[in-house]
Amino acid sequence: MHGNLSAIGSFTQTAGVIQFVGDSIQNISGITGYDVIVNNHHGIVLTGNLKITDTLKLTNGIISTDTFYTQVLNNAPGAIAGASDTSYINGKLIRKVGVGLYSLPVGSSAHYQLAKINFNSNPVKADSNSISTLTASFTSSNSGCTGVVSGNNLYVNGLPMVGLLNGGYWTIKPGSETYDSINYDVTLN
């Protein structure tokens, strides 16, 4: 698809592929797509939320969400593919999760900052003490923070954290669910 896509009311695709390609920035407003491919090196700007029910393939181009979000409703670990320094989400990503390794391809307008979370045990439990979605973003400023407040109980490989990345920070939050003990690992690149 070349050009902008604006839905008056709602637009929901239930099968097939929407591929965004173009010669300039594309504005996308409030759609639900099935399989979505981003292949526009100029990028996409959301003017409404972008929901994807199956897969998101990031080939070329940055999705800028501003105050909106990109949401992937498929909980398969491979539901988001192809992210790179030239194709990721600048803003808020919401994705469904289960057991496995999940990429959270977020960043700022200038830098790709991939986060990965590996759920070693099932975060979705029948008693509703579970995590079924994650919301991720990267903030490119740490607002002048030069260190970590002591006594924060943050450890990496058994050692207390004493500093912050000066280029920014990730925010990764579970959905509104309450949860008990869940075994996971996080990798921040």
Say how many Å lie between the first and final Cα of the chain, rounded.
Answer: 32
Rounded to whole angstroms, what are the CA distances from 128 to 20, 108, 132, 133, 179?
Answer: 37, 33, 9, 13, 8
pTM, 2 dp: 0.84
Give residue 39's pLDDT.
96
pLDDT of residue 146: 53
Q: Which two tokens stand for residue 102?
A: 């999940």
Task: Tell me what pLDDT residue 81 has.
Answer: 97
Domain ranges of the chain: 5-188
For residue 117, what pLDDT is reported? 92
pLDDT of residue 127: 57
Bridge partners of residue 187, in order along the sequence: 116
Divide the 189 residues of the chain into consecutive groups of 10 and give the mean pLDDT of each group: 71 86 90 94 94 96 96 96 96 92 93 90 63 88 56 68 68 74 79
